[in-house]
Amino acid sequence: MSLTFNGITKHFVHATVETQRPIWAPVERELIEIPGRPGAFFRNTKVKPRVIPVGIIIKGVADLQKAKEEVAEWLITDKPAPLILPDEPDRTYYAMIDGEGQLSEIFKFGKGTVNFVCPDPYKYGAEQSFKVNDPADPNNNQIKNGDFREGKSYWTSSNDIGEVVTISSEQVEFKQAFEIKQPNIYLIYYLSDPNWWRGKKGFASCWAKVQNSAFDSTKGSGAALYFRARKTADQSFVYFQDDYRLTGDTDGWIQLSFSFDFTSLNEDLDQFMFAISTSGGFTVIEAQFTGFMVTLSDELTPWLPNGTTYVKSDGSAPTYPIIECTFTQAADKYEVQLLNDDLSVNAFVLLNFDFIAGDKLVLDFANRAATLNGEDKKTAYHITSDFFKIPPKKDTPISATQPSTLKFTDKYL
C-alpha cells in the first residue's frame, strides 16, 4: 500500500499493515486542585500535536542506499505537507517527519518506521462550498432595504383582497410581500382544496415590521394572524387565531407565529383562508409583511431573512471558512454573519470600504486575511469583527450583505 506525501507517491515505498495511529489527537486537560477540597476544577483543554508512526517497506530498487537518499529528499520538508495514508484515502493530515528514519536492511530490501508529527492535530476531509445570498436561491426572502415586493404592487385596498394559493406540499410558502399605510386591511390567501386541511396540524407564521403606528386599546385588538374556514352547510366561519396581537411598533423585523390543530374539524368546507388583519384599534402608518408560511410539522420552521442560507460541516471539529465575493454593484461595506438557531447574530465580520462593481473580495478567516483584487485589505476590517468558525454536524445559518461563496474543509478530531 503506497502512501502519498506532499502530493508525491513513490512506487517503491509501501506502508505496512503494522502502521498504527491514535484514535484522536492527544487531549490534555488542565485541572486546578484546591487544598481541602476533593477532586479538582476543570479549567481548559489543550489539543496537542498528533504523532503518526508509519511502518514502511522499501523494495524493488536496484540500489537501496540511493533509494534511501531519494526517500530522505522526499520526506524532509521545511514545513508540514499533506499526508494521505493508503487505508484512509479520504482524509488528509498535515505532517512533517520527526526523528530518525532507521531501516532493517537486507540486500535491496528495507523495513522500518517513520514518525510523522502533525503540528495541526486535526485531519481534513472534503471541501464544502455554499452560495450565500444567492438571488437564484428559492429560499431567499428578498428583504432588501425595506423593498421586497419581487416586482408585485403593494396591496393597499381597504377591501378584502387576496389570491388563491395551490397546495402542493407539506410546507406552503407565500413569497409575496406587502406594505400597508392605512388601517382596516385584510391580506388574504385563499387556499385551494379547503377540505385538504381537515385533520392537519402544524405552524403558521409571517415576518412583520411596523413603524410609526398608533394603537387604541378601547377599539379592539391590533394586527392578528389567523386561519378562517367556512362551512359548506351553513356558511358559518370557524376561526383559528393567534393569542398574540400586535399592539404597536415592532422595533425591526419580528416573526409572528402560532400553532394550529384541525384534527377535530370534520365538517365539509367550501373556503379556507390564511390572513393577517389590521382592523380594530390598530392605526397603521407604515407596516410591512412578508415570509408567509404554513408548515405541517411539530416545530416551527424559521423563515430565513434575505441573504441567509444554511451551511453544514460533516466533520467533527469546528473549521474556519474562506469567503469569496464579486460585487455586482457598488457598496460601502461588506458583512457576513454567523447566526444562532433563532436567527439572532452570534458573530460577524465587517469591512468598511467603498467597493465598486467587479471588485473581488476574498476573506480567509483562519489567517484573518482580506484581499481585494489580489491586494491586502485587512486594514478594512472593523475592530469588532469576530473571525468565527463553522460548527460541526449541524445546519448553521449564515447571512451576507452581497452574493458570496463560502467554502471550508471538513475537519476531524
Give pLDDT tens digits for 217-247.
776 656 677 888 888 999 998 877 665 667 7
Amino acid, single-letter form, for residue 403: P
Domain co-membership, 397 together with 317: yes
- With beta carbons less than 8 A apart as the criterion, state whether 280 and 220 touch: yes
Q: Indicate whether 270 belongs to any domain.
A: yes
Q: What is the pLDDT of residue 293?
A: 73
Q: Which of 295, 329, 360 is the last residue of a domain?
A: 295
When the pLDDT of each residue in the chain is averaged and rounded to a whole number, the result is 82
Does 142 reside within a domain?
Answer: no
Which residue has better confidence, 148 or 345? 345
Position 149, amino acid: R
Mean pLDDT on 193-200: 81
Strands 81-84 and 4-5: antiparallel
Strands 331-339, 123-132: pairing is unpaired
- Residue 397 inside a domain? The answer is yes
Q: How far apart are CA 29 and CA 25, in angstroms?
A: 13
pLDDT recorded at residue 334: 96
Tally Cβ neighbours within 10 Å of residue 175. Answer: 16
382 or 341: which leads in pLDDT: 382
Looking at residue 173, its amino acid is E
* Range 205-209 average pLDDT: 78
Statement: residue 189 has pLDDT above 70: yes
Is 235 a domain residue? Answer: yes
Residues 24 and 115 in one domain: yes
- Give the pLDDT score at 164: 57
> Is residue 282 pLDDT above 50, yes or no?
yes
How high is the pLDDT of residue 172? 62
pLDDT higher than threshold 80 for residue 375 = yes
Number of other CB atoms surrounding residue 114 within 10 Å: 23
- Tell the residue number behind the cell numbers 476573506, with chain if given: 363
**What's the total number of domains in the chain?**
3
| 153 lies in some domain | no
Dig out the grid coordinates for 88 from the structure. Answer: 484512509
Picking from 93, 121, 149, the residue at the C-terminal end of a domain is 121
CATH number at residue 385: 2.60.120.860
Are 244 and 314 part of one and the same domain? no
> Is 143 within the bounds of a domain?
no
In the predicted model, is pLDDT for residue 323 greater than 90? yes
**314 shares a domain with 283:** no
In a domain, 140, yes or no: no
167 and 195 in a common domain = yes
Do 178 and 260 lie in one domain? The reply is yes
- How much is the pLDDT for 156? 45
Cell representation of residue 230: 367556512
Query: In the listed set 121, 147, 174, which residue is the last one of a domain according to the structure?
Result: 121
C-alpha cell at 42: 476543570
At 290 the pLDDT is: 72
pLDDT at res. 145 = 37
What is the spatial distance between Cα 379 and Cα 359, in angstroms, rounded to a whole number?
A: 17
Per the structure, the complete domain to which residue 31 belongs is given by 4-121
How far apart CA 224 and CA 256 sit, in angstroms, is 9
316 and 390, same domain (yes or no): yes
The answer on pLDDT for 374 being more than 60 is yes
pLDDT at 202: 81
In-domain check, residue 182: yes
Q: Are residues 190 and 224 in the same domain?
A: yes
Do residues 312 and 280 both lie within one domain? no
pLDDT at 159 over 70: no
Phi (first) and psi of residue 92, to 5 degrees: -125, 130
pLDDT beyond 80 at 139: no
pLDDT at res. 248: 77
The pLDDT score that the predictor gives to residue 221 is 59
Strands 160-165 vs 186-191: parallel, antiparallel or unpaired: parallel
> What is the rounded CA–CA span in Å between residue 87 and residue 332?
50
- Evaluate if residue 261 carries a pLDDT over 70: yes
Query: Burial of 289 by CB count in 10 Å (0-12 exposed, 13-18 middle, 19+ buried)?
Result: buried
H or E segment to which residue 331 belongs = strand 331-339
Same domain, 56 and 113: yes
Residues 9 and 116 in one domain: yes
pLDDT at 163 over 80: no
Cα Rg for the chain, rounded, in angstroms?
A: 31
Four-CA torsion 197, 198, 200, 202, nearest 10 degrees: 60
226 and 178 in a common domain? yes
In this predicted structure, what is the pLDDT of residue 171? 56
Selection from 225, 208, 197, 202 nearest residue 291 by Cα: 208
Per-residue pLDDT reduced to its tens digit, 140-155 = 654 443 444 444 444 4
Model's pTM, two decimal places?
0.68
Listed residue (151, 153, 149, 152) closest to 177, CA to CA: 149
The per-residue DSSP string of 239-302 comes to: EEE-S----S--SS-EEEEEEEE-TT--S-EEEEEEEEE--SSEE-SEEEEEEEEEE-SSSPPP
Calpha distance 339→333 (Å, rounded): 19
pLDDT at 4 > cutoff 80 = yes
Q: 410: exposed, middle or buried (C-beta count within 10 Å: 0-12, 13-18, 19+)?
A: buried
